[in-house]
Amino acid sequence: QQQVKQSPQSLIVQKGGISIINCAYENTAFDYFPWYQQFPGKGPALLIAIRPDVSEKKEGRFTISFNKSAKQFSLHIMDSQPGDSATYFCAASKMSGGSNYKLTFGKGTLLTVNP
């Protein structure tokens, strides 16, 4: 049972273009939605996160769009750069006691930004 579905599996974008990665979730109890970025040979690192009380969150070139009714959220990378080439994971969890103990991850998207 896959609770968080991520697409596409891989994405190739030209430098300066917009990268869009989508995720859909099933559990309506989820209330925390982070995106993680992972470079080869490294551990994942938090990129940006959103809670369902807002529909969009922007940090620099990275934006999360959130659609609660559709149970979908997406990551937009504006002006994509070769240094953005990495694997991106969406995740979701239900906060419990102020902590997100059980993150459920999507399967990941390998982003390649060509120079």
Report the phi/psi class of residue 83: left, alpha or beta, with left for phi > 0 and alpha for psi in -120 to 50: alpha
The nearest distance, CB 71 to other proteins, in angstroms, is: 18
User: Which residues have a Cβ under 8 Å from the Cβ of 76 and sit 6 or more positions away?
Assistant: 18, 19, 20, 62, 63, 64, 65
Please give the Cα distance from 84 to 73 (Å, whole number). 20
For other proteins, the closer CB: 18 or 46? 46
Chosen residue from 22, 65, 72, 100 binding other proteins by CB under 8 A? 100
For other proteins, the closer CB: 41 or 83? 41
Helix or strand (DSSP H, E) at 109: strand 109-114
Which residues within the stretch 63-92 sit at the binding site for other proteins (CB under 8 A)? Answer: 89
The nearest distance, CB 2 to other proteins, in angstroms, is: 9
The nearest distance, CB 41 to other proteins, in angstroms, is: 8
The nearest distance, CB 44 to other proteins, in angstroms, is: 5
